[in-house]
Structure 1
Amino acid sequence: MATVSLSSASGKWIMVSAIMASAMAFIDATALNVVLPSIQQSLHANATDLFWILNAYLLMLAALILIGGSLGDKLGRKKIFMTGILIFIGGSAACGISADVLQLIIFRVIQGIGGSLMIPGSLSLISSSIHEKERGKAIGTWSAFTTVVTIGGPVLGGALADAGYWRYIFFINVPIGLAALCFLWWKVKESSDENLDHNLDFSGALAIMLGLGLFTFGFLRVPALGWQHWQVISALVAGGVLMVVFMLIERKSKHPMMPLTLFTNLTFTGANLLTFFLYAGLGAAMLFMSLNFVQVQGYDQLQSGLTFLPFTILMVGIARFAGNLADKYGPRFLLITGPALAGVGLLILSFVKQTAGPSAYFTTFFPGVLIFGLGMSLTVAPLTAAVMGAVSDQYSGTASGVNNALSRIAGVFANAIFGAVAVLFFSGALKQEIKAVPLSNNAQQEVLAQAVELGNAKPPASLNKEEQQRVTTAYHNSFISAYGKIMRISALLGFLGALMAFVFIRNVKVKKTQAATAG
């Protein structure tokens, strides 16, 4: 397949189109964390609703992104990429006009369908169209720009939410998406592999979608029903069985959406395990930090978004440089060091207690954010380059789909599992906190019933002013306790990611015969 130079006009248009389209998806992923308090208030959503608003999108993305990558390889990367962008901006516009929580969740599903076609298409176009010697640099550029947008999303989201315009987080995707479609239509050539068969793995897609859906549903029901309820147990068991069924389908299928032979390469396996652990920790950390800033620490939503600015600056300065280093010396050292540093940053953040608010940011949260951002900046581009370099060009879409699917599956699990666990941590801490507050049994039950709201919990109106203040303090202390435990688990996931790189990833290129074994 003909490739072009990164500095050529064609190469630049490919990069601009891929970055713009990816930016839409990544903005939503991080900006939503900041505007969740506004959505909760505007649409009268509870904590479980918020997790479903996040997971409805991630769930469809995780379930369908593999088939989206395969479609691009087989039917044309540009064509599938453009289809995904069109669906995504339609879903975004619908999200912006949602009248209630149910509508927003449904339209987030549509966004996820579009994203499953769009996200693997961006990296697949780059990997199949840019010269091999410049591929790491191109992926580093893509990583830098998309991550800047990703981490810049909270700043934009916070500003819009504080002004009462949280819906514009969705509306902003429309002009960006339309511009990307125009560039693709007029400036980018089609890219596909005629040698691949055009059969699609619908049974595999159905199995993974239902499996993830049941898993997510089971964990989201834990706070309300407990771990031993039949709904929780049956959903988790059925979800696990369907995951096994998915692996069996992929093993036996003549047209698998996730060719298991790709995982015979240790670098590909290690990079994807690293992705799963690191992005599960990242997803949980970003969500609970955002909630902590706004609901407990007294930040407004713009200030909450600005807390991640050091992260953005580091990504601008380091991500492309890290991609170049990975090209020259291999990704192994960076993929060990980066996740380990990210884990250290999350561990430092886990020990931050109640602060004096934004004025105390630089002596409380800033050191952890800085180290966390440095670790992620060293990781993102080399990780992507390692994944895309571990397969032959004809499987670039599939490889991108697998890696993106794992990062989104990690996000689904992080939101569902950590959401359920956080409520349990919060409830346990709250029971201890309210022992010091002289309340009647009925009042205590009312206070404990608010645990499902986490940091947004409000003291019962029946309490007097002094009792309400003491209960509010108990809520804040309980949330901080739960937050600390979640952040320490997230740090452990970062360290596990570094361990995966140490064990599996080597600085050698994958043999191009991988294509034959995957075929």
Structure 2
Amino acid sequence: MTAPAEPPAPAVPLASARGRWILLTTVLGSTMAMLDSTVVNVALPRIGQDLDADLAVLQWTVNAYLLTLAGLILVGGALSDRFGRRRIFVLGVVWFAVGSLLCGMAPNAGVLIAARALQGVGAALLAPGSLALIQGSIQAGDRGRAVGLWSGLGGVGSAVGPFLGGWLVDGPGWRWVFLLNVPVAAVCVPVALRHVPESRDPRAHGRFDVAGAVLGASSLALITYALIEAPTGSVAVTGAAVGGVLLGVAFVALERRRANPMVPPDIFASRQFTAVNLVTLCVYAALAGFFFLVVLQLQVVSGYSAMAAGAAVLPTTALMLLLSARAGEFAERIGPRIPLTVGPLLCAAGTLLILQAGPAASYVRDVLPSMVVMGMGLVILVAPLTATVLASVDPGRAGLASGINNAAARVAGLLAVAALPLLSGMGPESYLSATEFDAAFSRAMPWCAGALVVGAAVAWATVRSPAPGACHPQCHTHCALTSPPLEPSASEEGGKR
């Protein structure tokens, strides 16, 4: 016998004090997770020097976080819908803060990597609930403005994050890149507990696909290990590669049989949904590889400080913050095919332009053109990509579709950071030698550009305009350097957006 459902909490006006507190805590929570996907890259050279680590450790510092985040983000969304968005959001913030504290205190590379994996678990719990808290708490007439403010304020945080991370690395040290999350969480948690009403999806039911989550994450972990450790040529690497593929096959087979799968196979019956996710894989693999290596290139080869390397990417996120809403509106008028083709091609051009950034590179002449072209490509691309994902499925599955698309981007980034050094011939100590790293960087950027061209070709060949009345995202402004924005379930509005 099940307990009666709790009555829904009264909707909160955005203009009220409580509405502003709700907006504050959701912005703080989402910004923590968003920043951690980008600012850590700036600190990698200093982390490697301080911990006497090779390139594989730097890759795992990024990928341990991406691995648990990509593997569990769909589970985090399901837990939020079932047990309460506020409860899981607060749990995620606390978990993320504990992981951040452990990262900041890590005495060696092994502890840092393990703590990064814990951070990813926390991010998987808090990220899906952030926007869903606004959806479930703010009154219907104010939700559009609330989502716009949430997205814009989060975008500001994302834009200044790499600069702030670089300032911390050059000042008090790289550990403060992680420790800064602790006081932010100390503000976020009590505000959420005091001011945010609890909400959940009354339609959430069935068992959690724990086995699917374990199989999927284990497959990704083994494949990532095989790619990072491939230069050693050991038997363990071969075994990990084979095991990862077999676990991936087992994951697909399990999802086909389960009544409540984490990734329902039938959602890929939509040709458009499948195509846009292929575009997502290509685009975000290239972006992850680009931003992972560029901040290393600028510090190791061009001689930039950590703060200067972080500030170098500011034009990209600033352009997205300023122009993505208008670009999203324009894409709705002309359809997604052209933006999803032109956007990746511009990003590919930006990727090749950064090859000018060699020793003693001038920022204005050698770096800024790449960042501006890359930013314009992302402005054109991100909003229609998200809109097309949502428009390709039934409105009631909007949250699931968005979660799968976001997870696909995280997986793409995970595999790119693991594979790109291998494809470009980077050795374990390459980042300690300006000459070796510059040569490998010159080989890596064409791989990123090639992935973007493939994404553009897939979009041109397969993407078509959505049917009238299809589901659309609530926000167009998003500094999506690591993944498309998540969208909450449409259940509170009866499936309408």
Provide the TM-score with structure 2 as the length reference: 0.85
| CA–CA distance in structure 2, aligned partners of residues 280 and 95 of structure 1 | 25
Q: What residue is the counterpart of 2:183 in the other structure? A: 175
- Counterpart check, 1:453 vs 2:421: no
Aligned 8 A contact 1:123 1:397 in 2: no
What is the 5 A alignment of 1:125-204? 125-126=133-134, 142-204=150-212
One-letter amino acid of the structure 1 residue matched with residue 466 of structure 2: N
Question: 1:488, CA displacement in angstroms?
Answer: 1.4
Q: Which amino acid aligns with 1:506?
A: S
Q: Kindly indicate whether residue 253 of structure 2 is the aligned counterpart of residue 210 of structure 1.
A: no
Post-superposition CA distance 1:230-257 (Å, at most 9, x none): 3222211211121121111111111111
Change (3 A) 1:388 1:4: farther
SS in 2 for 1:254: coil
Which residue number in structure 1 is paired with residue 228 of structure 2?
A: 220
Given that 1:91 and 1:111 are in contact with CA atoms closer than 8 Å, whether structure 2 keeps it comes out as yes
Change (3 A) 1:18 1:495: farther
CA distance in 1, matches of 2:331, 2:306: 36
- One-letter amino acid matched to 2:193: W
Alignment correspondent of 2:294: 289
**Rounded Cα–Cα distance in structure 1 between residues aligned with 2:25 and 2:334:** 29
Aligned equivalents of 1:340 and 1:291: distance in 2?
Answer: 24
Q: How far apart, CA to CA, are the structure 1 residues paired with 2:471 and 2:127?
A: 26
Tell me the residue number matched to 1:488: 446
| Alignment partners' CA distance in 1, 2:151 and 2:430 | 33
Q: CA deviation at 1:328?
A: 6.0
After TM superposition, the structure 1 stretch with the greater mean CA deviation from structure 2, 10-19 or 72-81, is 10-19
Q: How far does residue 40 in structure 1 lie from its aligned partner after superposition?
A: 1.1
Contact map agreement 1:143 1:380 (CA 8 A) in 2: no
Residue 197 of structure 1 aligns to a residue whose secondary structure is: coil
Task: In structure 1, list runs of 5 or more residues that go unmatched.
Answer: 427-450, 458-474
The 8 Å contact of residues 73 and 396 in structure 1, kept in 2 or not, is answered as: no
2:75 aligned to which of 64, 67, 80: 67
CA distance in 2 between partners of 1:190 and 1:389 (Å): 29
Q: Which residue of 1 aligns with 2:5?
A: none
Residue 104 of structure 1: how far off its partner (Å):
0.9
> Aligned AA for 1:99?
P
Distance change in 2, residues 1:384/1:137 (3 Å): farther
Task: Determine which structure has more spread, i.e. the larger CA radius of gyration.
Answer: 1
Which residue number in structure 1 is paired with residue 253 of structure 2? 248
Please tell me the root mean square deviation across aligned C-alpha atoms, in Å.
3.0
Change in Cα spacing, 1:318 to 1:255, as seen in structure 2 (3 Å) is same
Q: Report if the CA contact (8 A) 2:14-2:146 is conserved.
A: no
Structure 1 residue 379 displacement after superposition: 2.6
Decide which of 410, 413, 420 is 1:411's aligned counterpart.
413
Give yes or no for contact 1:18–1:123 (8 Å, CA) kept in 2: yes
Conserved in 2, the CA contact under 8 Å of 1:159 and 1:301?
yes
* C-alpha spacing 1:343/1:39, structure 2 compared with 1 (3 Å): same
The CA distance in 2 between the partners of 1:144 and 1:505, in whole Å, is: 29
Question: What is the correspondence of 1:99-138 to structure 2 with a 5 Å cutoff?
Answer: 99-126=107-134
Residues 203-230 of structure 1, C-alpha deviation per residue, up to 9 Å, x if partnerless? 10111011001001111111222xxx43
In 2, Cα distance between the equivalents of 1:77 and 1:261? 26
**Distance (Å, rounded) in 2 between the aligned partners of 1:305 and 1:239:** 35
Q: 1:364 is matched with which residue: 363, 366, 373?
A: 366
2 CA distance for matches of 1:88 and 1:145? 20
Q: 1:129 to 1:345 in 2, by over 3 A?
A: farther
Paired with 1:388 and 1:90, the residues of 2 have a C-alpha distance of: 34
Question: For residues 181 and 274 of structure 1, do their structure 2 counterparts lie closer, same or farther at Cα, with a shift above 3 Å needed?
Answer: farther
**CA distance, structure 1, for counterparts of residue 96 and residue 400 of structure 2:** 20
CA 1:49–1:306 in structure 2 vs 1: closer, same or farther (change >3 Å)? same
Are the counterparts in 1 of residues 14 and 142 from structure 2 also a CA contact under 8 Å? Answer: no
Residues 1:149 and 1:385: Cα distance change in structure 2 (over 3 Å): farther
Give the aligned residue type for 2:46: S
Name the CA shift for 1:266/1:20 in 2 (closer, same or farther; >3 Å): farther
Q: 1:393 to 1:73 in 2, by over 3 A?
A: farther
TM-score (norm 1): 0.81
Please say if 1:337 is aligned against 2:342: yes
Q: Name the structure where helix makes up a greater proportion of residues.
A: 1
What is the DSSP-based 3-state SS (H/G/I as helix, E as strand, rest coil) of the residue aligned with 1:365? helix
When residues 421 and 345 of structure 1 are mapped into structure 2, their CA distance, relative to the original with a 3 A threshold, is same
Specify the alignment match of 2:459 in structure 1.
501
**Distance in 2, Cα, partners of 1:270 & 1:156:** 37
Indicate if the aligned counterparts of 2:395 and 2:471 stay in contact, CA closer than 8 A: no
1:415, 1:109 → 2: CA distance? 15
Q: Per the alignment, do residues 273 and 328 of structure 1 end up closer, same or farther by CA in structure 2, a change over 3 Å counting?
A: same
326 and 138 in structure 1: CA distance in 2 versus 1, 3 angstrom threshold: farther
Contact 2:388-2:466 within 8 A present in 1 as well: no
Q: Which residue of 2 aligns with 1:84?
A: 92
Structure 2 counterpart of 1:203, one-letter code: A
Instruction: Give, in whole Å, the separation in 2 of the partners of 1:390 and 1:78.
Output: 29
| Distance in 1 of aligned mates of 2:204 and 2:294 | 45
Query: Superposed, which structure 2 residues align to 1:500-519 within 5 Å?
Result: 500-502=458-460, 503-508=462-467, 509-510=469-470
In structure 2, relative to structure 1, the CA distance for the partners of 1:346 and 1:136 (3 Å cut) is: farther
Compared CA separation, residues 353 and 365, structure 1 to 2 (3 A):
closer
Q: Corresponding residue for 2:324?
A: 319
Hey, what's the Cα distance between the residues in 2 that align with 1:511 and 1:159?
Answer: 41
SS at structure 2 position matched to 1:452: coil
Q: Which amino acid aligns with 2:112?
A: L
| Secondary structure, aligned partner of 1:191 | coil
Aligned to 1:305: 310
Residue 479 (structure 2) pairs with residue 479 (structure 1):
no
Gaps of 5+ in 2: 1-7, 473-489
Change (3 A) 1:183 1:252: same
Give 3-state SS (helix, strand or coil) of 1:189's partner. Answer: coil
